[in-house]
Chain A
Amino acid sequence: MIQIKNLYFKYEDELVLNNINLRLNDSSYTAIIGANGSGKTTLAKHLNALLLPTKGTVIVDEIDTKKDQFNVRKNVGFIFQSPEDQLVHSIVEEDIAFGLENIGIETDAIKNKVRTILRLLNIEYLAKKNVNMISAGQKQLTALAGVLVMEPKYIVFDEPTTTLDNKNKRNIMGIIAKLNKKDKIGIILVTNLLSDIKYAENVVVMGEGKIIFNDKKSKLNKSILKKAGLDV
């Protein structure tokens, strides 16, 4: 369970998160939706200790993000908006192995895990490909493989579909839903598109650094979305 209590966050003088309280249960699927600049990415980065609260706490499975970044990051994977910018190595399989090398997994185990993930995502054919020669959709899958291989309990996706065409969008949304249903990974999907929240069970709506709605998706209505400045 991820528990956020009275979270405030400032970039220099600008208050970007204003008293956020939120609980994300194991194996849940939560969409965080809000207009550009509403603070979604800033909130998401608190979930795996890339940002630490100015005030308040973020607790991931009993670990305070201020105290132990290493274990928080092992539990919470993060897929960034631009797949282009999150691949470190030039060769796909090597990039997927990057996180495992960081946490000290032995070579044989790394090789096995990488192979398993490639198979799971149906991208074995990409293993030896150069990252600079593959499509945006394939880059996104490579980034996802690099996170999945760490066997995280939760994965945060920050606007994962913005650089993708419709076909790849559907593909990645399907994969995310399956990771939640089948593999019981807790999903936090950050987006500004209503079309992206199709599979989510809970929805958090953000506006100007505050949570203005947090409930089951079925309770969501147009006036709330309008209030958040989203197109309905």
Chain B
Amino acid sequence: MFKKLTFGQYTYKNSIIHKLDPRIKIITVVLLSATAFLMNSYYKFAVFSLFIFLLMILSKINFSSLLRNLRPFFFMFLFILLMYIFFSRNELDQGIRTIWKFILFIIIASILTFTTTITNMVSAIEKLLIPLKMIKINPRTIAVLIALTIRFVPSLFLYADRIRDARLARLGNLKTPKQIKLLFLPLIERVFKSASNLSDAMLSRNYTEKRTTYFNIIRLKYYDYISLSLLLMFILFILRVV
């Protein structure tokens, strides 16, 4: 169960996509998703899909785990398709395109999560948010918030499980609203307790918003600049030329 809940699907492979700076990868995901959103002709779709396929190959991504990421969306796709079939059959091709766009989004996001560690992802977000300093928002605060979310969501499920098991042992089942309340109140109480413990723990380790040093350093290399330029050229090509 924890395997499912633990964030990050990163698996180490020796690929050029793995080696890319995480900032470049995040920017790429944003740009490619926007491009996918703007595309309309089948021809563009074909070229774009081919490009994504190429990225998949380059990142040595595991196809079966990619399919696993797509599986939860299967019914949504089916639903969209059926809606088009029943209500506007003449626009069916648009439905197919919508689904195809979705699939592309998921693949693009998966390439990022499969090739980037949580650590690097959070570092990259912190660096990308540095401009926010101008409006007095500290990027470290946001990075720590994200790190804490990633860290504590699985714990939340763990607490819920423990409380449910304890309740089940005493009450037999959990069906009525009152019993559900008995499940949630202790959970909320536990979460607040955790938050207070955690804030003590962070303070006792001298947490401040301002920091000057990093355990994890990310540096842009030539290779990152070249990749970004190639990407921009490709996007221009897709949107203007094809």
Contact = CB atoms under 8 A, between A and B. Distances in A.
A89 B194 CA distance: 15
B213 A107 contact: yes
Nearest to A81: B197
Given A88-B144, A132-B6, A74 B197 contact: no
B160 to A, nearest CB: 14
Nearest to A110: B215
A107 B215 contact: yes
A133 to B, nearest CB: 6
Contacts of B150: 90
A107 to B, nearest CB: 5
A146 B119 CA distance: 17
Interface string B127-152: 00000000000000000100110110
A133 B2 contact: yes
B213 A86 contact: no
A50 interface: yes
B206 A103 contact: yes
Nearest to A76: B204
Contacts, number: 106
Contact of A87 (B151, B208, B216, B217): B151
Identify the interface centre among A81, A84, A150: most chain B CB within 10 Å of its CB.
Answer: A84
Given A99-B206, A132-B2, A90 B7 contact: yes
A81 B194 CA distance: 11
B147 A147 contact: no
Contacts of A106: 213
B155 A132 contact: yes
Interface string B184-211: 0000000001100110111111111001
Contacts of B144: 88
A89 B147 contact: yes
Nearest to A150: B205
Interface string A114-147: 1000000000000000111100000000000011
Nearest to B207: A102
B204 A132 contact: no
Given A80-B197, A80-B200, A90 B8 contact: yes
Contacts of B3: 133
The size bracket of the interface on A is 35 or more
Contact of B119 (A82, A91, A110): A91
B211 A132 contact: no
Interface in A88-113: 88-91, 93-94, 97-107, 110-111
Contacts of B211: 101-102, 104
B222 interface: no
Given A89-B147, A90-B151, A130-B6, A107 B205 contact: no
A216 B2 CA distance: 46
Contacts of A82: 194, 197
B201 A86 contact: yes
Interface in B61-104: none
B118 interface: yes
A155 to B, nearest CB: 11
Interface string A7-51: 000000000000000000000000000000000000001001010
B42 interface: no
Contacts of B148: 88
A150 B205 CA distance: 8
A207 interface: no
Given A102-B208, A107-B213, A107-B215, A86 B197 contact: yes
Nearest to B12: A128
The 7 closest A-B pairs by CB, nearest first: A97-B215, A86-B201, A85-B197, A99-B205, A78-B204, A132-B154, A102-B206
Given A80-B200, A102-B211, A132-B6, 8 more contacts: A70-B206, A84-B194, A85-B194, A89-B147, A90-B151, A101-B214, A104-B213, A132-B154
8 contacts: A73-B203, A86-B198, A87-B151, A88-B147, A93-B215, A105-B213, A110-B213, A146-B205
Interface of B: 2-3, 5-8, 117-119, 144, 147-148, 150-151, 154-155, 158, 193-194, 197-198, 200-208, 211-217
